């Protein structure tokens, strides 16, 4: 089973473009280190900045998914034992079962399922 990495894209209050560039770097780094899932903290928009980062990051992830560069992603608001994608991700990364955002419906985070063996 692969590991879970966590990155805070809001750190330092970057622009949305800078946050997406950092996301690209972190995705590549996660692949190199053999992580199965990358959890990103992007905020939900209470200050105005987090909302833009969330929208831009998820749009970027959608494009990566369509191109087959990632296996998929789970928005924090869907991260639940009642979600089929979450249950499938548990099989790839056991650490997800212990994540503090499970069942919190936190739209300030997103879980990215990386491509790997068997994915």
pTM: 0.93
Helices (H), 13-119: 16-33, 49-66, 84-92
Burial of 78 (0-12, 13-18, 19+ CB in 10 A): middle
Strands 3-8 and 72-75: unpaired
Q: Under CATH, which number does the domain 3-113 receive?
A: 3.30.1370.110
Q: How many CB atoms lie within 10 A of CB 32?
A: 8
Across the chain, mean pLDDT equals 92
Phi, then psi, of 5 in degrees rounded to 5:
-110, 150
Q: Are 39 and 109 in contact (CB under 8 A)?
A: yes
Task: For residue range 55-93, list pLDDT tens digits in order.
Answer: 999 999 999 999 999 999 999 999 999 999 999 999 999
């Amino acid at each position: 089973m692969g590991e879970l990495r966590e990155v805070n894209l809001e750190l330092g209050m970057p622009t949305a473009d800078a946050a997406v560039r950092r996301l690209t770097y972190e995705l590549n780094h996660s692949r190199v280190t053999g992580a199965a899932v990358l959890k990103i903290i992007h905020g939900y928009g209470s200050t105005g900045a987090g909302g833009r980062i969330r929208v831009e990051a998820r749009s970027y992830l959608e494009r990566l998914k369509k191109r087959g560069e990632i296996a998929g992603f789970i928005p924090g608001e869907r991260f639940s034992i009642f979600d089929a994608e979450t249950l499938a991700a548990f099989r790839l990364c056991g650490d997800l079962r212990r994540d503090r955002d499970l069942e919190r419906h936190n739209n300030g985070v997103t879980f990215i399922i990386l491509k790997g063996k068997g994915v």
